[in-house]
Structure formats: C-alpha cells, structure tokens
Structure 1
Amino acid sequence: MAFQDFDQISERRRIERKQRLKQRIIIGVVVIILLLSGAVAAFLIFLNSSKSDDTDDAGDNTETLDNDKTNNNAGKDTKSSGVPNDKGNNDQNVMEAQKAVHKICQSTDYKETCESRLEKSLSSKLLGLPGPDELMKAAISAASDEFDNAIKQTSAFMKVETAPDNQKPTLDVCKQVFEDAQSDFNHSRTGSPDLGNWLSAVMTYQQTCIDAITEDATRTSIEQALKVTKELTSNSLAIVSSFKTPAPAPAPMAHRRLLTGGSDVPTWMTHETRRLLKADALSLTPNATVAKDGSGDFTTISKALEALPDGYQGRYVIYVKVGVYEENVIVTKKMVNVTMYGDGSQKTIVTGNKNFADGVPTFLTATFAAIGEGFMAQSIGFINTAGPEKHQAVALRVQSDRSIFLNCRMEGYEQTLYVQTHRQFYRGCYIMGTVDFIFGDAAAVFQTCDIMIRKPMENQQNTVTAQGRIDKHETTGIVLQKCKISADSSLAGEKSKIRSYLGRPLKEYSRTIVMESDIDDVIHSDGWLAAEGGFGVETVYYAEYNNIGGGSRVKDRVKWGGYRREFKKEEAVEFTVGRFIQGENWLKSTGVPVRLGCYS
C-alpha cells in the first residue's frame, strides 16, 4: 500500500505542475499583449504630436516665406518632414551647463573670468550636464592654455641671448620657472590627486619670475601678460578646493619605540633603518660614493649626479664622505628619487657664497638646489658663507615634491633656507639665520628642529619665517612643530637689544603656524613683525598652538585681523603632517621617523 500511495501522490503532483505551467503561459501572453498595446498607444500619441508640430512648423514656414528666401524655407520644410530636431535638447543642455558653471564659479575670486572661460571651453563638447571632474579639467585647461599664450607674448622681450648682460640672469630665472610651471600644469591636466599641490606651485613659479625682474618696463609687461593666467589659476585652485574631501584624522600612533635622544620611530621601520637613524653615520649601500681624497667614485657631488643613468628605476643612493665640498649643486627635475647622505651635518658640508649683493638673483644664489621629485638628504650640512653684509644668500633651495631632510644643517644669514614649492618635510634639522631665514611658498613642515637666530647687521631685526603665499586658495604654508626656537651664541648676550620675531609677510596671504614648540624669550612679545606699510596684516594666516618657553605667551601678541588669537586643537590638526602635506601617503613608506598628528 505504501508504494501505491506514493504512485498516486506522484501522479497528482504531475497534474498540478502541468496546471501551474498552463497558468504561467496564459499570464505571460496577457502581459505581452498589454505591453504591446501600451507601445502602440505611445506610438500613436507620438505620431499625433508630430503632426501637430508639423502643422505649427508649416505655419512658421509660411510666415517665413513672406520674409526670407525660398532656399531657407526649403531647409525648414526638410526639418519638418519627419527628421527629429535636437535644438530643444541642445538649448536645455546649454542652460543646465550655464547654471553649473555659474554655481561652481561662486567659489572663485574672479567670477566673470571664470564663467566666460568655462562656458567657452564647454560649449564645443556639451553632451549633457558637466560633472565636477569635467568642470575642474576645463578650468585647468583654460589656465594652462592662457599660460602658453602668455609665454608667447613675453618671448619677444625675454630672449636671454639678446638681453643686456645685467638682465640675463633674471630672464634665465623666468625661463626656468616657466618650464617648471608648464610641467606642473601637465601634472594637473592628467587628473593628479594632488591638484592643489601642483596648481599652488604654478602660481609660485609665475610670481617668482615677476619678483626676479628688476627692470621696471619688463616687469610691468610680464605682469600684464600673466594677469589673466594668474586669475584662471586662482579660479582653478578655488574650484578644486570646493570639491575637496577633508582628509581623515591621522591614525593614533600607539605602538612606537624611542631611539636615543627621544626620537619617535615608526614600528614599520626595518632594523637597519632604525640603527641608521640613531646617529649621523650611515651604512646604506650606495650607488655612487663621493670623496675629496679620491677614495670614492667621484671627487665632486655634481659629477656623481651627472653620472646618474637616464630613466633609472628605484632610489639612487649617493654617499658623500667627510669633507667640505665647495660647489653649487643642482639636483635637476630629471633626477628623481635621489637619496644623498653624509657622515654628519658638520662633517660632510656643501658650501658656496653666491649672493644678491654681487648681482645674482636670490633664486640662483643657492649653494644646493633640490628640484627632482622625491629627494632625500641625511646628515649633510648646507652653508652659504657670503655673510650678513651680502644680504640674500641661500644655502639650500628646495622645490622637490615629497622631499625629506633628516639631521641636516642649513647655515646662513639672510634667507638661508628657500622652501620654494611643493610638499617638504624636515626632521631633526639645525637651521641658522637672521632675516627671513626660512622663506618661500612650499607646504613645509618642520618637526623637532633646532632653529637658531643669529646676530644680524646693525639696524636689522630678525625674522624666522617669511612665507610667500600669494593666493588664499593655495595649499601652502610653513609649520614649525615640536621645534626649539632660540638665540645663537652670537646673539644670546644681546637678545634684549635686538628684536626677533617668529615671522613677517613675504606676500599678502602669508601662512605660518608655530605649534607644540619651545620658544625662547629671544622672540619679542609682539610675536610677528608687520611688513613695510602694514602690508598683509589683515589677510595673513598666523597662529600659535600649545607652545612653551619664555617667548611663547600670546597675551601681548599683535592685534592683526590675520592673527588667530584663539587657535584650537581642531584647527591645529589641519596643519599636521598627515593632513597638511598628506604624509600618510608618502612619508610612512620611507621609514623616516615622523609624527603624523599632534604630539598632545
């Protein structure tokens, strides 16, 4: 019986499945019929609408016949004979694009220039509403194209070979920085994630040329030629900033060890790197060795750099033995990812004496210039021996993006360290000078550095920094974090007579933050020095956070609109290594000791 029951159940289930299948087929047929009916109805409505439009068009064409030529009328009849007209859609696209352009240009300082150039750039390729990426690319392209036009305009009176001898050096500066600006525009056109970094550098390069020119007529001509380019670059920066996503807060650094002297060292560093960072002496395996006594591969640093193979992949390491190397060294743009280390910042020394008083533009006075991306120096001294009476005399000029300086020494008087452009990190360095001795328009962070103020010439006042941000949308600034600011032995006995300040504006939007540092009483109670005529006091961005020492009291600081008297930790965090120079992305992988966030 059990098997018979099973057979009956199976037969009943087979019949039920057959019935369900039949029902599904019926439902499917009904749905298809309904869909086809809807499609036919929609088609009939469309035809009816088209006929109505044709009637209207015919009326328009009849009216046009009375006023226009027959051939124009024939063209309109062709359009009304069933060929779709996309003019309405195009008009709608144009209107939507104009709205988008108008909206995005509200964040800029040169709105009229922004709207006219973006509308012109987008008009030829409108297929729909432009998105953020398309708007940013259009803004950058407009700025880059205008810069190319400016170069053409200035080429007639900027020929170095035919210029008077006294103008050739400054025109050479313009040539160099214009090439760098074009290169950074190209970086920006590719959609680099660091658009603010590259565009800020472009603005700096343009201003560097203008500042270098001493002949009034030439300077005025260059300023006029670059005027629109600077406006468009500023607009590009503003647009990029409006789309920027805030960087996440640096991750807490819980698992850390201390080296001798209390230096922070990340846990991801290799044993060898930890050992190397304990002292000035290194034992890296170099690709090339420089020694004055002939015991290395080369006797000069410049020769070692010249031998760097074209297109070399990876990091190229140069070891510079003990000695004083009297040469002006340039790590060119093509020389990327170069590491150079010595036997100690007072043992391996690069020295020169070029200076402004002798007719050399400040840009070209540098004893050592680091330009190629990813440059790293450790345990080397950079000195300009020109002396205070020669005024601007740079020991080290840096425009290398993602550059690192560890345990190095920069020594000079006026304008010792030129932090020119891009992102830079200094750790455990010793920096000496008098007037504006850390200056430039890079995004530069100094951690655990000794900043020593020397005795200046008669009637001079000392200023530690002179940051050169020329536009409020630039991503640049100087940050001194966990540093020691004090008087050199030459000034120690006279620091009450000679005034010294944390900084003064080099440009209108100068930005400097001093945080978690030890500020000696060598710093005047005002803290900051105004430029001549009070220039920039309302537009600068100067701030101090959680400092100690006799010169750290903010009670009597300047009463400028640009001085942030109430500067909180949440604001200070924005200027830490992790956020300000995106150190999480590139410093951690190098294994250098770094604090990505605040110390406290």
Structure 2
Amino acid sequence: MSSFKAYGKVSESDQAKLDARRKTCKRVAIISISSIVLVCVVVAAVVGTATHNSKKGDDSGKGTLSASVKAVCDVTLYQDSCYSSLGPVVNTSNFKPEDLFKLSIQVAIAELSKAAAQISDQGLFNGTVTDKLSVEALKNCGELLGLALDHLNESLSGDGSLLEVVEDLKTWLSSAGTYQQSCVDGFDDAKGELKDTIEKYLKTSTELTSNSLAIVSWISKVANSVKLRRLLSQDGTATSHGIPEWLHQTDRRLIESSDLRKKASIVVAKDGSGKYKTIGDALKAVPDKSKKRTVIYVKKGVYFENVRVEKSKWNVVVGFVARDIGFRNTAGAAKHQAVALMSSADQTVFYRCRIDAFQDSLYVHANRQFYRECDIYGTVDFIFGNSAVVLQNCKVFPRVPMTGQQNTITAQGKIDPNQNTGISFQNCTISPFGDLSSVKTYLGRPWKNYSTTVYMQTFMGSLIHPDGWLPWVGTTAPDTIFYSEYQNFGPGSVTKNRVKWKGLKTITSKVASKFTVHSFLLGSKWISDASVPYKSKL
C-alpha cells in the first residue's frame, strides 16, 4: 500500500477513542471440494435435520431444502445473512450438497464486487473526497478489496484433496477478511463520517466472507470427526496445491551458487556495475504475470527506497530470497508509525534478515509467514498484523521509545474466531537494545477481539514487566483473546504476577504443538524448498 498509516495502527494517544469504533468484521473464500467428502459431511447434517422435520409431518421438498440451508447456515456467525443469500438462489430440483459451499463464495464475490465499485475513485465518492488522508485511504482500500477478490476467485478455481484444500481455504478466507478489515481501519483518521460509510458498504460482504470461513472450518472439523483423514491421505488426486512451484532443487542450487550474478536475469548494483541502480527499477522491468522465472541479483549495498513486489509480478526471485538482508525505516521514534517491512503474500520466508524501526516495525499483514534467525527492533506494537506467522530462533530487541511511551512487542489483529491466524514465537530471545531500565516493556496487547499470540521455549530478559501483557485500553482485555506462554525461561519469563485475564491461558504440550511450523503453518515443504533450516515441531 502507498501509506502504512492507512492500515489503522495509530499512536497510543488515539487508542481509546478508536476502540469503541472497532467492530468484528469477517472474510471470504471456498473451492470446489471433493464431492464424495462433501456428500458425507453435508448429507449427514441435512439428513439428520430432515429426518427430524419428517417426524413433524413435513414431507415437502421445500421443507427439505430449508433443512439443508439451515444445516449449513447454523454454523455461521451471521445466520440471517446466510439464509437470505443462499435461500433464494438454491434450485431445489438440481440440489447438490457442494453447491451450497460454492454459492457461499459466489454471493460473497458478487457483494464484495458491488461494494468495491461503490467505494472506488470512480464510484460513490468520485470527486467528493478531497483531503489527503481520505484520498490515500480510498486508494489503499481499492487495492485491499482487489486482493480480497483475488482470494475469493482463486478459491473457486482450486483443486486438491479435502485436507489440503480446506486448510488453504481457511488461510485465504482469513486473509480476505483481513483485507476488508484493513480497508475499514484505514479510515480511522479520515474526516467526517467517511469510515462509518465505508463500514456500511462492506457490512454484507464481510458477513458473507465470515460465513464462508465458518462453513469451511465446519467441514474440516466434521471430516476429522468421521475419521476421513486416512481415506483422504490415500487419495491419489492430492497435488502440490499451495506449494511454491518456482523454487525447486535447481533454483536452490542457483541461489546458493557463487556465480549467481552470471545466471541472474537482472543485476542491481548501487555502484552502477549492474543494469539497474535501484531494486524498484529492476522490478518495473519484470513482465507482468510472466510464467518465466525472473532472478534479480542485488549486489551488496544500502538501498534507500520503498520496494514493492506487486501481485502482478509473478515468478520473481530476488537473489537473496529474503535472506541476509536488512529492512530499515529511518523515520525514527518521533514519526510514530513507521513500518520497515510489510508482508502480505502467502508462504513467505525470511531468513537471517534484520527488521529495524521503532513503532510498527514488522507488519505481518496476512496469509502464512515464517521468520528464522532474524533480528527485529522496535518499540510500540513492533510485530503486528493478522497473518499465521511463526518466528523461530529470532532475536527480538525492544529499544528506547519516545518519552512517556511503553514498549509492546506484539499487537495481533485476529477479528474472527474461525480465522487460523496468530503470532507464534519459538526458541527466540528477547533482550533490550539500549538502556530500558526506566521503560516498561510488555509481550503484547490485543489489537482486536480475538488477538492470538503464543511465546514458546523463548528466553525473556528482565526487561519484561511482571504483568506480561498490556490492555489495549482500560484495565482488562476481551475474554475472547488467546494469549499463552509455554516453557519459556529467563528472568522475564516468571508468570506468577501476570495479568489475570480469562484469555491468558496455561497450555499443555498438545495445545502448544498447534502453534508450531508443522501445525500452524500447515506443513513445511514450502520452507524447506527455500533452503532454510527450521524446526517442524516442539
């Protein structure tokens, strides 16, 4: 996005008045899933409900259809939206179980497309919004809604076995919801009632997105409960869906080879020895939606630029592949929010990187992400967002903030209980960068109602405040958050005087294992394909 401010993370002074305006919004996506599995899942629920109705004397086809729609909609958070969107479009004579799932995505796409057109520069607000912040927010919103639509449309065209597809769908739907919420949050500083208007136009699409995610989550739970895992794992139709096809063994050897410069498609060099002097210019030269791999070799140097790898730049491999590189925002503490690195793409890997700023240094915006042996510096909420992210063997360095500020390492933004998102630290170290003897430092605070953050097997220095966690506003946190500390060590890891929140959980190894690479990131082949070391489980 062209402005990070538009994502809705603001300075501490604005938090109280913003909290009341934040509501839980939702997301989007689903795919055509194995018919036999859907029949098992849906028909089981439908038949049970229909049988119950038949005992009451309801023999009509209409009664059966109502039971079918009800069986699906009852698992959603917005049941009225589900009934009103699916009921009128279901053809009783041609009813198939999987149609309800496809339709839940299709109606969400239709509603989001309409809302996006209304919100666009040429839509409802054409020429009527003039202040700089609002214009920037509208521009960013358009990009975010475009990403949400991309995830929905991809979901309808995917393929694979249920276990692969459902987990991918949950990720894409979670991200689609995040994009819509980010659009709304971007208008926090807009003049007048513009944010309320935007939220109104996105209300139905966010509800329908949430419903689709709830349905997918339900499928996953039911599939596991009826012991279909072994059957599906033997399904010969399983594909490498979701795995980055562009990075195989030959590519890894290329990346690690000493003669990478000779084999690179484009060379960037600050000293002028390459074709381009900036990374941005090199990316502009990459053909849009190219099926051919483009390798960009960036020679050693300091590059002062805002680098954006747009969604249209397919099959791009920057020589380091997010390896051994630093990302720094030089705005300083006085500028408040100043993101050094934002990642929004799925299955991104950062290895031995440095992310250096003050407030909001690392924006783990959406989808699945992995960070290994990275050094991360910051002050307020300096690791934030709503992706499913694991930070492993990383060094976390809270630093000296502005006078009067407190350090908070995380601000996780989960907005829906069905999202598979959260921040997970494993085998990391938390140490001060500078003299923090007079600064209170906390593990995090809940940005949204379902904020999820877990620290596991991590060293915590004495800089961590005994309370551990800080409320967003007031003196407590929503009961719906999920915060936990598991097998941590060091003087700051003592939990005796932690805040007494319902959402701060003591967990077992079984629960902790759900936040490992293997479970939380849904596998690890995409990480090993990037030739990066990792620990799969506890």
Tell whether the structures are fold-level matches, with TM greater than 0.5.
yes
Residue 403 of structure 1, CA deviation: 0.8
Counterpart of 1:451 (choices 380, 396, 402) is 396
Residue 271 of structure 1, CA deviation: 11
Q: Does the residue aligned with 1:308 lie in a helix, a strand or coil? A: coil
Counterpart of 1:530 (choices 464, 471, 483) is 471
Residue 339 of structure 1, CA deviation: 2.7
Tell me the alpha carbon deviations over residues 100-135 of structure 1, each in whole angstroms, 9 at most, x when there is no partner.
22122222211222222221232x36424x42x322
CA distance in structure 1 between the aligned counterparts of 2:288 and 2:464, rounded to whole angstroms:
48
Tell me the alpha carbon deviations over residues 349-398 of structure 1, each in whole angstroms, 9 at most, x when there is no partner.
xxxxxxxxxxxxxxxxxxxxxxxxxxx41111110010001000011111
CA distance in structure 2 between the aligned counterparts of 1:219 and 1:569, rounded to whole angstroms:
43
Tell me the alpha carbon deviations over residues 425-472 of structure 1, each in whole angstroms, 9 at most, x when there is no partner.
111111100000001111111111111110111111101110111111
Counterpart of 2:519 (choices 562, 576, 579) is 579
Q: Does the residue aligned with 1:146 lie in a helix, a strand or coil? A: helix
Does 2:314 align with 1:336? Answer: yes
CA distance in structure 2 between the aligned counterparts of 1:172 and 1:319, rounded to whole angstroms:
31
Structure 1 residue runs of 4 or more that deviate by more than 6 Å after TM superposition: 269-272, 274-278
- Check whether the contact 1:501–1:523 (CA below 8 A) recurs between aligned residues: yes
Match of 1:410 in 2: 355
Tell me the alpha carbon deviations over residues 244-273 of structure 1, each in whole angstroms, 9 at most, x when there is no partner.
156989xxxxxxxxxxxxxxxxxxx97996
| Larger displacement relative to structure 2 (113-122 or 383-392) | 113-122
Counterpart of 1:144 (choices 109, 113, 122) is 109
Q: Does the residue aligned with 2:450 lie in a helix, a strand or coil? A: coil
CA distance in structure 1 between the aligned counterparts of 2:214 and 2:317, rounded to whole angstroms:
35
Output the aligned Cα RMSD: 2.7
By relative contact order (CA 8 Å, sep 6+), the higher-ranking structure is: 2
Counterpart of 1:235 (choices 203, 211, 222) is 211
CA distance in structure 1 between the aligned counterparts of 2:88 and 2:527, rounded to whole angstroms:
41
- Check whether the contact 1:177–1:206 (CA below 8 A) recurs between aligned residues: yes
Distance change >3 Å, CA 204–CA 234, structure 1 → 2 = same
What amino acid maps onto 1:183 in structure 2? D
Counting aligned pairs with the same residue, the percent is 40
Match of 1:6 in 2: none
Pairwise mapping of residues 194-343 of structure 1 onto structure 2 (< 5 A)?
194-213=168-187, 214-244=190-220, 245=223, 283=260, 285-313=263-291, 315-341=293-319
CA distance in structure 2 between the aligned counterparts of 1:319 and 1:386, rounded to whole angstroms:
27
Tell me the alpha carbon deviations over residues 528-564 of structure 1, each in whole angstroms, 9 at most, x when there is no partner.
1111135743111111111111111222222111111
Distance change >3 Å, CA 432–CA 106, structure 1 → 2 = same
- Check whether the contact 1:160–1:171 (CA below 8 A) recurs between aligned residues: no
CA distance in structure 2 between the aligned counterparts of 1:301 and 1:231, rounded to whole angstroms:
40
CA distance in structure 1 between the aligned counterparts of 2:292 and 2:494, rounded to whole angstroms:
47
CA distance in structure 1 between the aligned counterparts of 2:537 and 2:115, rounded to whole angstroms:
41
- Check whether the contact 2:349–2:530 (CA below 8 A) recurs between aligned residues: no
Query: Which entry has the higher C-alpha Rg, 1 or 2?
Result: 1
Residue 297 of structure 1, CA deviation: 2.0
Residue 292 of structure 1, CA deviation: 0.8
Residue 164 of structure 1, CA deviation: 3.4
- Check whether the contact 1:521–1:551 (CA below 8 A) recurs between aligned residues: yes
Does 2:100 align with 1:135? Answer: yes
| Larger displacement relative to structure 2 (577-586 or 207-216) | 577-586
- Check whether the contact 1:428–1:449 (CA below 8 A) recurs between aligned residues: yes
Query: Which stretches in structure 2 are left out of the alignment for 5+ residues?
Result: 1-57, 160-164, 231-247
Counterpart of 1:551 (choices 492, 502, 512) is 492
Distance change >3 Å, CA 302–CA 274, structure 1 → 2 = closer
Counterpart of 1:100 (choices 68, 84, 96) is 68
Residue 93 of structure 1, CA deviation: 3.8
Q: Does the residue aligned with 1:167 lie in a helix, a strand or coil? A: helix
Match of 2:144 in 1: 177
What amino acid maps onto 1:113 in structure 2? S
What amino acid maps onto 1:336 in structure 2? W
What amino acid maps onto 1:218 in structure 2? L
CA distance in structure 2 between the aligned counterparts of 1:518 and 1:286, rounded to whole angstroms:
40
What amino acid maps onto 1:106 in structure 2? D
Distance change >3 Å, CA 103–CA 306, structure 1 → 2 = same
Does 2:482 align with 1:541? Answer: yes
CA distance in structure 2 between the aligned counterparts of 1:442 and 1:419, rounded to whole angstroms:
6
Distance change >3 Å, CA 523–CA 138, structure 1 → 2 = same
TM-score (norm 1): 0.70
Match of 1:186 in 2: 153
What amino acid maps onto 1:235 in structure 2? N
CA distance in structure 1 between the aligned counterparts of 2:259 and 2:449, rounded to whole angstroms:
42
Residue 314 of structure 1, CA deviation: 5.4
Residue 274 of structure 1, CA deviation: 9.1
- Check whether the contact 1:341–1:380 (CA below 8 A) recurs between aligned residues: no
Q: Does the residue aligned with 1:594 lie in a helix, a strand or coil? A: coil
What amino acid maps onto 1:116 in structure 2? S
Tell me the alpha carbon deviations over residues 400-445 of structure 1, each in whole angstroms, 9 at most, x when there is no partner.
1111111111000000011111111111111100000001111111
- Check whether the contact 2:254–2:260 (CA below 8 A) recurs between aligned residues: no
| Larger displacement relative to structure 2 (427-436 or 135-144) | 135-144
CA distance in structure 1 between the aligned counterparts of 2:251 and 2:281, rounded to whole angstroms:
29
Q: Does the residue aligned with 1:514 lie in a helix, a strand or coil? A: strand
Counterpart of 2:382 (choices 437, 441, 447) is 437
- Check whether the contact 1:290–1:297 (CA below 8 A) recurs between aligned residues: yes
- Check whether the contact 1:137–1:191 (CA below 8 A) recurs between aligned residues: no
Corresponding pairs, count: 448
Counterpart of 1:111 (choices 71, 79, 86) is 79
CA distance in structure 1 between the aligned counterparts of 2:255 and 2:428, rounded to whole angstroms:
22
Match of 1:400 in 2: 345
What amino acid maps onto 1:574 in structure 2? K
CA distance in structure 2 between the aligned counterparts of 1:402 and 1:523, rounded to whole angstroms:
31
What amino acid maps onto 1:181 in structure 2? A
- Check whether the contact 1:317–1:339 (CA below 8 A) recurs between aligned residues: yes
Residue 160 of structure 1, CA deviation: 6.7
| Larger displacement relative to structure 2 (105-114 or 217-226) | 105-114
What amino acid maps onto 1:587 in structure 2? I
Distance change >3 Å, CA 277–CA 465, structure 1 → 2 = farther
Query: Which stretches in structure 1 are left out of the alignment for 5+ residues?
Result: 1-89, 250-268, 343-375
- Check whether the contact 1:507–1:536 (CA below 8 A) recurs between aligned residues: no
Match of 1:506 in 2: 447
Residue 282 of structure 1, CA deviation: 9.1
Match of 2:504 in 1: 563
Match of 1:590 in 2: 530
Counterpart of 2:411 (choices 438, 446, 466) is 466
Distance change >3 Å, CA 212–CA 597, structure 1 → 2 = same
Q: Does the residue aligned with 1:487 lie in a helix, a strand or coil? A: coil
Residue 149 of structure 1, CA deviation: 2.5
Distance change >3 Å, CA 443–CA 282, structure 1 → 2 = farther
CA distance in structure 2 between the aligned counterparts of 1:337 and 1:577, rounded to whole angstroms:
24
- Check whether the contact 1:414–1:437 (CA below 8 A) recurs between aligned residues: yes
Residue 157 of structure 1, CA deviation: 3.7
CA distance in structure 2 between the aligned counterparts of 1:576 and 1:383, rounded to whole angstroms:
28
Q: Does the residue aligned with 2:303 lie in a helix, a strand or coil? A: strand
Counterpart of 1:519 (choices 440, 456, 460) is 460
Residue 179 of structure 1, CA deviation: 1.2
What amino acid maps onto 1:171 in structure 2? L
| Larger displacement relative to structure 2 (576-585 or 443-452) | 576-585
Q: Does the residue aligned with 2:507 lie in a helix, a strand or coil? A: coil
Residue 515 of structure 1, CA deviation: 0.9
Distance change >3 Å, CA 303–CA 226, structure 1 → 2 = same
CA distance in structure 2 between the aligned counterparts of 1:534 and 1:229, rounded to whole angstroms:
33
What amino acid maps onto 1:556 in structure 2? N
| Larger displacement relative to structure 2 (293-302 or 239-248) | 239-248
- Check whether the contact 1:434–1:464 (CA below 8 A) recurs between aligned residues: yes
